[in-house]
């Protein structure tokens, strides 16, 4: 499912950020279709909690878990940071050392009301700042949540969804008290996004224990698509980051997992789609760099392409780059950074 969420993010960024193709009217119509693209990040955060809880190792150590998570994300982050820095130099933009250190340290999402910090260098890496908090907290949150009986897990899921849905209603008083803008408070701030991660943990435990009760995959997936393409467009703007989709996404992730367990039909088990899911993290990291660099190249050389051809070209290049990053950096990075641990304690890996 990660591939489809990453594809939604790609479409959102492409149609909102490319400037070399398409007429204003044409692009406006396409932007309306992908308007709810930022909600895909919410899907990633819920799924992240779900997957980590589902695959948690009973005898795992805190440091062992942290080591594997670092090995999983940081080499690819470092590689794409370097590419983004080179792209800045190529396009004639300033290199800000402070922003670079914040990005490399994955602290950029903690800085209030500073889009230059959030989206500097490889802009999408702001979400890794949130994931860093998730990974640091997971061993302790999971230890507490897994002790809850089914009613407690259901309470966690319901309360978490209610918080995400209702929080946009309180952005005005929150902003008055803190000075934070709505985007920081609802979309960027790691502790706020931690709620979605915890929802994923609780859902995973409910499904794993056979206690999940919810609609099937077709109904859940249909609800997600309907909300993305319909109600999200008429709800207040602050709801489109997560509040409008958190319930459908929660249901869809649980339904897809249950469909796998029960052997029911699923569009997500095709081996090609599974591989695309495996490279989706890499696609997420490279796609915006590809959009900006391709846009710069086309404008510099005065090439004009139909927007559909431009989109297909950038997606193809992004996918190829994702394969190279996944196979050439992500997988070797995991092997290299966890090799000593595997040799020292085979049972723990």
| pLDDT per residue as tens digits for the range 238-263 | 999 999 999 999 999 999 999 999 99
User: What percent of the chain lies above the pLDDT cut of 70?
Assistant: 97
Query: How many C-beta atoms lie closer than 10 Å to residue 23's C-beta?
Result: 9
Q: 3-state class of 50 per DSSP?
A: helix
Determine the length of the chain. 349
Tell me whether residue 341 is exposed, middle or buried, using C-beta atoms within 10 angstroms of its C-beta: 0 to 12, 13 to 18, 19 or more.
Answer: middle
What average pLDDT score do residues 116-144 get?
A: 96
Q: In the predicted model, is pLDDT for residue 304 greater than 50? A: yes
Cα(313)–Cα(171) distance, rounded to whole angstroms?
A: 39
Closest CA to 333 of 288, 272, 281: 281
Closest CA to 38 of 15, 21, 19, 60: 15
Q: How confident is the model at residue 265, as a pLDDT? A: 86
Q: How confident is the model at residue 21, as a pLDDT? A: 87
Give the predicted TM-score (pTM) of the model: 0.94
Cα(240)–Cα(233) distance, rounded to whole angstroms?
A: 8
Cα(292)–Cα(87) distance, rounded to whole angstroms?
A: 9
Q: How confident is the model at residue 345, as a pLDDT? A: 46
Q: How confident is the model at residue 315, as a pLDDT? A: 97
Cα(126)–Cα(109) distance, rounded to whole angstroms?
A: 6
* Cβ contact 117:108 at 8 Å: yes
Cα(94)–Cα(250) distance, rounded to whole angstroms?
A: 41
339 confidence band (pLDDT: 50, 70, 90): confident
Cα(263)–Cα(257) distance, rounded to whole angstroms?
A: 10
333 confidence band (pLDDT: 50, 70, 90): very high
Q: In the predicted model, is pLDDT for residue 266 greater than 90? A: no
Q: How confident is the model at residue 227, as a pLDDT? A: 95
Tally DSSP H helices, then E strands, for the chain. Answer: 17, 0
List, for residues 128-138, the tens digit of each pLDDT value.
999 999 999 99
Q: How confident is the model at residue 348, as a pLDDT? A: 38
* Cβ contact 2:47 at 8 Å: yes
List, for residues 71-108, the tens digit of each pLDDT value.
999 999 999 999 999 998 888 888 899 999 999 999 99
């Amino acid at each position: 499912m990660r591939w489809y969420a990453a594809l939604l993010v790609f479409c959102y960024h492409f149609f909102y950020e490319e400037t070399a193709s398409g007429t204003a009217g044409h692009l406006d119509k396409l932007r309306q279709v992908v308007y709810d693209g930022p909600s895909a990040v919410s899907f990633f955060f819920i799924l992240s909690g779900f997957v980590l809880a589902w695959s948690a190792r009973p005898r795992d150590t805190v440091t062992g878990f942290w080591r594997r998570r670092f090995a999983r994300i940081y080499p690819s982050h470092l590689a794409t940071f370097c590419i983004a820095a080179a792209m800045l130099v190529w396009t004639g933009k300033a290199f800000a050392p402070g922003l670079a250190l914040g990005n490399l340290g994955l602290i950029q999402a903690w800085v209030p009301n500073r889009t230059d910090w959030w989206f500097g260098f490889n802009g999408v890496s702001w979400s890794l700042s949130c994931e860093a908090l998730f990974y640091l907290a997971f061993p302790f949150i999971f230890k507490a949540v897994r002790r809850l009986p089914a009613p407690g897990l259901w309470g966690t899921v319901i309360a978490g969804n209610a918080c995400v849905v209702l929080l946009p209603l309180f952005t005005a008083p929150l902003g008055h008290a803190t000075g934070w803008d709505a985007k920081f408070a609802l979309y960027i701030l790691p502790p706020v996004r931690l709620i979605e991660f915890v929802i994923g943990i609780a859902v995973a435990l409910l499904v794993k224990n056979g206690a999940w009760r919810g609609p099937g995959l077709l109904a859940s997936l249909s609800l997600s698509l309907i909300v993305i393409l319909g109600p999200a467009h008429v709800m207040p703007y602050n709801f489109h980051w997560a509040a409008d989709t958190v319930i459908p996404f929660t249901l869809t992730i649980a339904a897809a997992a249950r469909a796998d367990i029960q052997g029911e039909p699923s569009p997500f088990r095709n081996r090609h789609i599974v591989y695309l899911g495996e490279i989706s993290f890499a696609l997420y990291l490279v796609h915006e760099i590809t959009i900006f660099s391709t846009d710069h190249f086309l404008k510099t050389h005065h090439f004009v392409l139909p927007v559909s051809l431009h989109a297909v070209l950038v997606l193809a290049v992004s996918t190829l780059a994702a394969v190279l990053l996944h196979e050439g950096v992500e997988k070797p990075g995991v092997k290299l950074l966890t090799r000593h641990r595997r040799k020292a304690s085979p049972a723990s890996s």
